[in-house]
Amino acid sequence: GENVEQHPSTLSVQEGDSAVIKCTYSDSASNYFPWYKQELGKRPQLIIDIRSNVGEKKDQRIAVTLNKTAKHFSLHITETQPEDSAVYFCAASSYTGGFKTIFGAGTRLFVKA
Amino acid sequence: GAGVSQSPSNKVTEKGKDVELRCDPISGHTALYWYRQSLGQGLEFLIYFQGNSAPDKSGLPSDRFSAERTGGSVSTLTIQRTQQEDSAVYLCASSSLAGGRNEQFFGPGTRLTVL
C-alpha cells in the first residue's frame, strides 16, 4: 500500500540555524505534497504545499523541494526561531478518484534559544 | 467563518462499549477525512468521503470501525466494542479541493480513553 517515510523523527537546532526534514513516498501517482505544523495540544495546520509540476516553492523562511523521479520531498526552514518548535508532518496525496492523503510519522523540531 | 468542529472533545468509556464521534465540516467542503493520532504519534488515515462517491475505507483498522456522512455534511465515526488500543485522539478534517489543492482544515479532535 501507499507509504510515506519521514526523517528525522526528532531534530534539535540552535536558534538561527536551518532545519531540514526529508520525506519519501511510494505511490507514483501522488501529485500533491503538503506540510503541516502541529503545535503542542493544537490541531495540525498547513504551512506550505507543492504540486508535482513544480520543483521548488518558497514562502518567507520556509521552502519545499520535490524530486519526483526519486520520490523525495523536503522541508527547509531557515533562520529558525523558538516559535518554530512543533511537530511537522509531510504528506502525499493523489487524485485517484479522490484525494486520499497519507501522512508521514512526523518530526519533532526543537529550536533552542 | 466557522471552522471544523468535533464532539465530544473528550470521551471516556469502558472496554466493550460502543462510541460515536461527530464531525461538522466547514460548510461547502466536499471532502471529509478521519484520522487517528495516538500519543506522540503521526496521523493514521482511517476513512475519506468525497461528495457522493463511495467512501475510501481502506484505513479502517477493523470491522468494529465504521463511519457515515449524512447529506454530504456531518459525519459520525462509530467504534463498536471498544478496546483499550482504540484510545487515541480522533481528528476530522475537511477540504474544498479548490484549485486542485487539498488543504485540509482540522477539527480540535476527540480524545477517546477506553478503560
Please report, in tens digits, the pLDDT of each residue of chain A (113 residues total): 678 999 999 999 999 999 999 999 998 889 899 999 999 989 999 999 998 878 999 999 999 999 999 999 999 999 999 999 999 999 998 876 567 889 999 999 999 99
DSSP B56: B
Mutation for testing the A interface, residue in B23, B33, B34, B43 having most A CBs under 10 Å: B43
Distance of CA A78 to the CA centre of its chain: 14
Strands B65-69 and B75-79, sheet pairing: antiparallel
pLDDT at residue B1, as a whole number = 57
Separation CA B27–CA A79 (nearest Å): 38
pLDDT at residue A20, as a whole number = 98
**Interface contact A44-B102, CB threshold 8 A:** no
Say whether residue A10 is in contact with chain B using an 8 A CB cutoff.
Answer: no
Q: Regarding predicted confidence, which is higher, A27 or B11?
A: B11
- Confirm if A22 and A34 have CB atoms less than 8 A apart: no
Q: If you average pLDDT over residues B27-53, what whole number do you get? A: 90
Neighbours of A58 (CB within 10 A): 12
Q: B35: closest CA among B84, B108, B103, B101?
A: B108
Neighbours of A63 (CB within 10 A): 17
Q: Give B50's contacts in chain A (Cβ within 8 Å).
A: 97-99
Separation CA A87–CA A102 (nearest Å): 16
Separation CA A83–CA A39 (nearest Å): 9
CA distances from A22 to A61, B92, B105 (A): 17, 26, 23
* Beta-strand runs (E) in chain A: 4-7, 10-14, 19-25, 32-38, 45-51, 56-59, 62-67, 72-77, 86-94, 100-103, 107-112
Asked whether the predicted pLDDT for residue B2 surpasses 90, the reply is no
Nearest-by-Cβ selection for B42 from A49, A51, A89: A89
**Interface contact B103-A43, CB threshold 8 A:** no
Q: Helix or strand or coil: residue B72?
A: helix
CA distances from A56 to A20, A24, A64, A73, B106 (A): 14, 16, 6, 9, 26
> What are the grid coordinates assigned to B59, written together?
484505513
pLDDT at residue A60, as a whole number = 95
